[in-house]
Structure 1
Amino acid sequence: MIEIDGQAGGGQLLRTALALSLCSGEPFAMENIRGKRERPGLLRQHLTAVEAAAQVGDADVDGATPGSTTLRFSPRAVHGGAHRWTIGTAGSTTLVLQTVLPALWMHGVEASLSIVGGTHNPQAPSADFIAHAFLPAMARMGLDASFALDSHGFYPAGGGEIRMALRAGGKPAPVHFGERGPVLEQHAEAIVSAIPAKIGERELAIARARLGLGDGEASLREVRRAMGPGNALSIRFRTEHASAVFTGFGIKRVTAEAVAERACAEARAWLAADVVADSYLADQLLLPMALAGGGSFTTLAPSAHTRSNAALIEKFLPVEFIYTDHGRGRWTIAVER
């Protein structure tokens, strides 16, 4: 059994361990879960990820209770079929999805997944990121899946829903994401729910100014079906060989201009570095490439989060990640057996 100290990590360390355990069949024990956080131990959104992984992997689980700082997880066999999970808070639906998706793909099973909770959360990939950045990259590696955002869920009300249909197919294939190529499309969309539309319009004004958006490259979406108020600015790019999404989330006591400035700054840094993966997509590419047993991608300077995820993957799988600094903020991360 693989032993993991979860003191320094957050929920992502747990979710990555669950995904790796399902993929490899290796059981694990994690101690000191979220030990350095203000509220240590398992929260509702973490328990939903454990529940989802246990159902998909027919796993024996010990310690899956609110506030628990220890967890033991022993999978048996990965099963597809129809699954529906409700987080019950604004916890991220996309993070639960990414906990079980690699194993379902790796084992070539069909599955229909529905997850209810937050779809546009700070500190988590948005549903727009999954649809327009993550899944296009996975499709190049062989994933055959469809994705839908049925309703938006913002913090703190949640209540949004995403769906994925995964068709049976092969394992992830090695791909080298090297050159990004020219930008073919760019678009900024401000999403508002139960708040004044002018907030989204102010965000779009910043996006137009900072990114040079032209006519038809910015739009406002007023959401009617969300359970509570919320706001997000989604900036999307499609290039010859890559896609990227940068998201700003509206929160109390932060101006619309500040929300937009931060998202635009991330987009401009990615554009200037001429890389395929921003830091968020880099995190998501590590495990599929490890399962493929090879591949590489250009990215910005690897974050501590990226390196810790890579180190955990190396504990479960016989792979090594190689980091190469090309200067001027451009790096390559490669995986080797």
Structure 2
Amino acid sequence: MLEIDCSKGEGGGQMVRTSVAMSTLTGKEVHLTRIRENRPTNGLSRQHCTAINAVAEMTGSVAIGNTPGSRELIFKPGNEMRYSLDTDVGSAGSVSLVLQAMLLAGSRTDRPLRIDITGGTNVMWAPPIDTYNQVLFPLMERMGIKVKAEILERGFFPEGGGRVSALLDPVEKISPLKLPDLGKLKRVRGICFTQNLPDWITKQLISGCKKPLEPFGGAEIETERTTGISKGAGLCLVAEYKKGFLGSNVITARGRSPKDAGTDAANDLIKEMESGATLDVNTADQLLPYMAMADGDSVFSVSRISRHLLSQMDTLEDFLDVGFGVERRESVYNFTVSPGRGT
């Protein structure tokens, strides 16, 4: 049984989600300890428990200690795959983070896998489903992993109530992702969404993001207005290049104007674009597990090495024979991911 100290690296829920998913893929039992020890609230949250339970239910696995507040977990992988699953995170727990674990656990499926999740679609401290559709899923498709996700209802903090339906096609093999450069910028586009809020918020979000992006040819912004049990607003941007994508996003919050929020999203994207990176920091750590299982070496660069990325490397090395090469060159860190060449 693998022993993993979850207080290392970023010390959050990502190590838990990745470990549980990799356990199902490798058949290795895992004992996780000191879960989220360095966070203000220790142990598993409800969102983490939902992800663990969903992966276990989907794969016929057994999770011992999967209760809110638990600082230890034993996960025993199964081999009975379910191909249709509905799960509810509860309130505004992140739909995208639960989906992240389930897609990784299902990445060797030989049949279509349907996943319906209820919870928060656009919440703080988690990637929005929109960015998955704009950036993550198109890059995964290049690797042979085709996912479609439809936002049926949006859910914001604290009520949640969002619903996403995702479909993962059968995966024959995982191809490496080679992104030494992005090529020419084609356009910047985005989606601005509001729910149960006045139109002036949409206008301010768009106004805030457009001016900083004028030197890059401006931005094409789609607007979406919905109703639901929760209220909120946000903006997801993507810089579309000939060879890849960079993304940024923002959720509005009390105490900060929507216009400033839109400007923040634009400036975050510009920082990535001007760095010379070929993956934005948030997308890199989500793609790393697939690169580690690919049929060949992957290459990419990031503007900085996040603690999430370091944690992913540590966790993947526990489960797989994989090597990570990192070289600092000018303003970026160049990565090579080499399956079958671990230390």
Going from structure 1 to structure 2, the CA distance change for 1:216 and 1:41 (only over 3 Å counts) comes to closer
Supply the distance in 1 between the matched residues of 2:57 and 2:80 (Cα, whole angstroms).
Answer: 9
Which residue in the other structure is 1:167 paired with? 169
Give the gaps of 5 or more residues in structure 1.
none
| 1:5 corresponds to 2:8 | no
**What SS is found at the alignment partner of 1:106?**
coil
Supply the distance in 2 between the matched residues of 1:203 and 1:292 (Cα, whole angstroms).
Answer: 39
Supply the distance in 2 between the matched residues of 1:176 and 1:315 (Cα, whole angstroms).
Answer: 24
Which residue in the other structure is 1:75 paired with? 77
* Counterparts of residues 247-258 of structure 1 (less than 5 Å): 247-258=249-260
Quote the offset at 1:215 in angstroms: 7.7
| 1:321 corresponds to 2:311 | no
Q: 1:196 aligns with which of 190, 195, 198?
A: 198
String of CA shifts for 1:272-318, please: whole Å, max 9, x gaps: 02322000111111100001153111222211221121111111110
Which residue in the other structure is 2:310 paired with? 307
Which residue in the other structure is 1:96 paired with? 98
Which residue in the other structure is 1:260 paired with? 262
Quote the offset at 1:114 in angstroms: 0.5
Which residue in the other structure is 2:130 paired with? 128
Which residue in the other structure is 1:60 paired with? 62
**What SS is found at the alignment partner of 1:232?**
strand
Supply the distance in 2 between the matched residues of 1:243 and 1:308 (Cα, whole angstroms).
Answer: 23
**What SS is found at the alignment partner of 1:139?**
helix
Identity of aligned pairs, percent? Answer: 27
**What SS is found at the alignment partner of 2:211?**
helix
**What SS is found at the alignment partner of 2:70?**
coil
Which residue in the other structure is 2:233 paired with? 231
* Counterparts of residues 257-296 of structure 1 (less than 5 Å): 257-293=259-295, 294-296=297-299
Supply the distance in 2 between the matched residues of 1:155 and 1:161 (Cα, whole angstroms).
Answer: 14
Supply the distance in 2 between the matched residues of 1:103 and 1:12 (Cα, whole angstroms).
Answer: 14
Supply the distance in 1 between the matched residues of 2:107 and 2:41 (Cα, whole angstroms).
Answer: 33
Q: 1:217 aligns with which of 217, 220, 237?
A: 220
Letter in 1 for 2:7: Q
| 1:246 corresponds to 2:248 | yes
Kept in 2, the 8 Å contact 1:88–1:117? The answer is yes
Letter in 2 for 1:5: D
Q: Pairwise CA RMSD of aligned residues? A: 1.7
Letter in 2 for 1:4: I
With normalisation by structure 2, the TM-score equals 0.93
Which residue in the other structure is 1:22 paired with? 24
**What SS is found at the alignment partner of 1:297?**
strand
Kept in 1, the 8 Å contact 2:108–2:170? The answer is no
**What SS is found at the alignment partner of 2:150?**
strand
Kept in 1, the 8 Å contact 2:6–2:36? The answer is yes
Quote the offset at 1:254 in angstroms: 2.0
Supply the distance in 2 between the matched residues of 1:272 and 1:144 (Cα, whole angstroms).
Answer: 29
String of CA shifts for 1:9-61, please: whole Å, max 9, x gaps: 11111111111111211111111211222221111111100111111221122
Letter in 1 for 2:322: V
Which residue in the other structure is 2:184 paired with? 182
**What SS is found at the alignment partner of 2:35?**
coil
Quote the offset at 1:108 in angstroms: 3.1
